[in-house]
Structure 1
Amino acid sequence: MSNQHASVAHASVVIDGDKLRRTRKAAGLTITQLAARLGISIGYLSQIERGTRRTVPPARYNQICAALDIADRDHLDMQAAAA
């Protein structure tokens, strides 16, 4: 059972909130617009951008990348950047 929980813990992507904010702004989107595109609350997206919520599920990460038209899927992933 503990192995299953370990794999679930690693199933999150550590996202660079500051880079997400800069990328969103460069795309000409407000936080409200991006949150609406993603179908999430502004508060949830704000937590990601501020770094108070540092991990997101892979599906959400892919959704964010698609909404911002990011081809390099490692662009916002802090773990990939460190590798």
Structure 2
Amino acid sequence: MRYTCPACQHIQDHGGQCDQCGLDFVKYAAMMVFQAQTQAQQSREKLRNRNSLIKQVILLPLTGGLSLLSFLRSLMRKE
């Protein structure tokens, strides 16, 4: 089985650590998993924030209209 170093593309017969650049394959894989998890979490948060903003913009006329009607109704009751 041949192993290719992800950093320098050196091909070798064993895994573990690259003979040419010294990269530890296990640490590199763990770092890549952590980086992928972080990116996925950031994209979910960004999507959640965007969806929340869109929902608020869509509901703004409805909630603004209801609060305006409530305000006008309270003014009419005072007269």
TM normalised by structure 2 equals 0.23
Structure number having the greater helix percentage: 2
- Of structures 1 and 2, the one with the larger relative CO (CA 8 A, separation 6+) is 1
